[in-house]
A and B are shown apart, each in its own frame.
Chain A
Amino acid sequence: MYKASDVLATIRMLQEEHLDVRTVTMGIHLGDCIRTGMDETAEAVYRKITTKAANLVRICDQISTRYGLQIVNKRLAVSPASLLLEGRNRADALALAQAMDRAAEAVKVDLIGGFTALVQKGFTSGKQTVLESLPEVLAQTSRVCGSVNVGSTKAGMNVDAIRMLGRQILRLADATKDQHGFGAAKLVVFANIPEDNPFMAGAFLGPGEPECVINVGVSGPGVVKQAVDRALEERPDCTLDDLAEEIKHTAFRVTRVGELVGREVAERLGIQFGVLDLSLAPTPRVGDSVGEIYQAMGIAKLGAPGTTAAVALLNDAVKKGGAFASSSVGGLSGAFIPVMEDHALAEAMEAGTLTIEKLEAMTAVCSVGLDMLMLPGDTKSETIAGLIMDEAAIGIINRKTTAVRVIPVPGGKVGDRIDFGGLFGSGTICNVVSPTGAETFVNRGGHIPAPIQSLTN
């Protein structure tokens, strides 16, 4: 016997509050695809992906119908490309990426992550090839996403890699200048990269992961926002701990939906269920925004003092509710603040109440980092490298994941408005308060040692 109020609450979440499963991401190990020649390797990669993922979209669509629940994205994450590119050159890297791209298209998924290298402690030839080939690979493929891990709490920070990435991000943006540098939106630079992240552009299948696995990312900023609104409507004077409690309970329900879908997809495909990523991932739609949650909580101007505390409250409450709801939480699991993909954040940036510096502070307590930010076209590589170093430092010292996904818009000036369309959203080009002045520090290069926090044994 069901209580009508419970049933109607679930239906309201699904139909009016934009609750959906943001992504079902299949991880596929490609280590056994290495052959003597790159043509054979690329062919083996194509065959393996198209075999393993042949039924992914169909099964997701069936489950979506069964539950009346949208599964927005079906995606793939593969082993780091650097493993398949040891001893190879940039042409080989492009051939591999094109095979991944074709395979993704064949199984009807929109993105495939894993053009990845983990360089926190240094380079191999394969990792070097990945970093060198990023501009042409991400510019000449449509579905392939790249990620590079440049630091970890255990290893410290590879500043040489970061300097190189500062230059490569500019080249990548220039290689896609006809799309306002959109290629850079497909590359994320991480510290403490999770091996099981289902969200793009940073998804890949880590070395500790199984042969084939399903990881799921839920969403639900709209559901959380409505829950906060209802709580305030019922009790306008409710305190922040009341709001935290409300968010926690809502996160529980949101997470359980993802757990159900992830486990059922894995069961039907006969493969392992991996993790559920609790992250609140916004979209540009009104009513599906993380920024709106902060506003509902009482931050009228995003970026005002108190905003970082609001992020911390939300992030913690989501984790507490989600951790109880799922037996297997992983990935990034927190609140995202991707500026272009969240209309409230984008508007605050445009109004000037929210700055890159404030966003950086918020990343110390949210799940990721500086995400989907557009910079002027004349931004120096050292500026981008400095941003990455700052974010990596926050992650390394706080034992958390941080990341940078910035898009230097070729020819773009501060205040120009750019629209990438769809889930990537739109926004205004912004800049840091002091774009220059740290070149000497950045260009010293080398390696920042692992912090004292790494000595945990």
Chain B
Amino acid sequence: MRMNSVTEKASCRYVVSVLVKDKVGILRGVSAALADLGGDMDGISQTVLDGYFALILTVTFAGPCSEEALRSAVQDALDDEKADVVIRAYDVPENRPPTVQGSRYLVTLNGKRTVGILKAVTNFLANQGVNVEGWTVYADGPRATHLGEVTVPDLLDIKQVQDGLQEVVAVFGFTCGIQHENIFLVTNKVGAVRPLLRGAQHV
């Protein structure tokens, strides 16, 4: 999630990631530590998976702030020796082109839990130039459902990608789908359809 920020052009921006056992108040602690240093958190993505809390955020400071001071403040706020904190200076250029120029699709996989399915699928997608932007696995007893958000390059024939993916997952006894995200947007969200079609090509 990227938020608008008044300090967009400040001189000092970092990417912070945290991995720690889940408990109440982790985000409060991290956000307090950053705010006390004068940091504006302009993008946050956080989740809890099977008892572990994971966070990635970007933070911008109006003035100078060292990497060490930042790490120390976050580490102290977590109050957990085993917490992993990674700090990186933000060095992705502004107005960068997207990693892949294409359309957003959702990948769904369903089948009996098995080792290697994700390796095979992501290998196939990477070889096709398909960028994975989100992936979630939901285990339900012996079965697993994978939900992936990907960008498929415009030049690819989606039918070939679908057929190829089908072949890959069939080996594992899985079923799969790769469908443009619009079908999920229109069936689950209230809003006009027409804006979703911007860019639909005339024949």
Contact = CB atoms under 8 A, between A and B. Distances in A.
A103 interface: no
B203 A59 contact: yes
A419 interface: no
B98 interface: no
B166 to A, nearest CB: 12
A361 interface: no
B184 A10 contact: yes
Contacts of B108: 7-8, 11
B141 interface: no
Interface in A59-105: 59, 65-69
10 contacts: A4-B147, A6-B187, A8-B108, A10-B188, A15-B177, A67-B179, A68-B162, A68-B177, A69-B179, A267-B200
Which 8 A-B pairs have CB atoms at the shortest separation, nearest pair first?
A: A256-B186, A68-B179, A6-B188, A267-B200, A67-B183, A253-B187, A270-B202, A10-B187
A436 interface: no
Nearest to A64: B159
B25 interface: no
Given A65-B158, A69-B179, A257-B183, 16 more contacts: A1-B134, A4-B138, A6-B187, A14-B183, A65-B159, A66-B179, A67-B182, A253-B187, A260-B193, A267-B202, A268-B201, A268-B203, A269-B202, A269-B203, A270-B203, A327-B192
Interface string B84-128: 000000000000000000000010100000000000000000000
Contacts of A69: 179, 183
Contacts of A55: 203
Interface in A259-297: 259-260, 263-264, 267-270
A2 interface: yes
What is the interface residue range for chain A against chain B?
A: 20 to 34
B184 A268 contact: no
A346 interface: no
Interface in B161-203: 162, 177-184, 186-188, 192-194, 196-197, 200-203
Contacts of A269: 202-203
Interface of B: 106, 108, 134, 136, 138, 145, 147, 149, 158-159, 162, 177-184, 186-188, 192-194, 196-197, 200-203
A118 interface: no
A13 interface: yes
Contacts of A8: 108, 145
A220 to B, nearest CB: 11
A8 B107 CA distance: 11
Interface in A1-32: 1-4, 6-11, 13-15
B184 A66 contact: no
| Highest count of chain B CB atoms <10 Å: which of A68, A264, A267 | A68
A58 B159 CA distance: 13
Nearest to A68: B179
B197 A259 contact: no
Nearest to A270: B202
B145 A4 contact: yes
Nearest to A69: B183
Contacts of A4: 136, 138, 145, 147
Contacts of B147: 2, 4, 7
Given A67-B179, A256-B186, A263 B194 contact: yes
A9 B180 CA distance: 15
Given A2-B147, A11-B177, A268 B196 contact: no
B24 to A, nearest CB: 23
Given A264-B197, A268-B201, A269-B203, A2 B184 contact: yes
Given A2-B147, A8-B145, A256 B193 contact: yes
Nearest to B201: A268
Contacts of A7: 106, 108, 147, 184, 188
B44 to A, nearest CB: 12
A67 B158 CA distance: 10
Nearest to B183: A67
A389 to B, nearest CB: 41
B187 A257 contact: yes
B106 A2 contact: yes
Contacts of A270: 202-203
B187 A268 contact: no
A6 B184 contact: yes
Given A256-B187, A257-B186, A67 B180 contact: yes
Nearest to B191: A256
Nearest to B157: A65
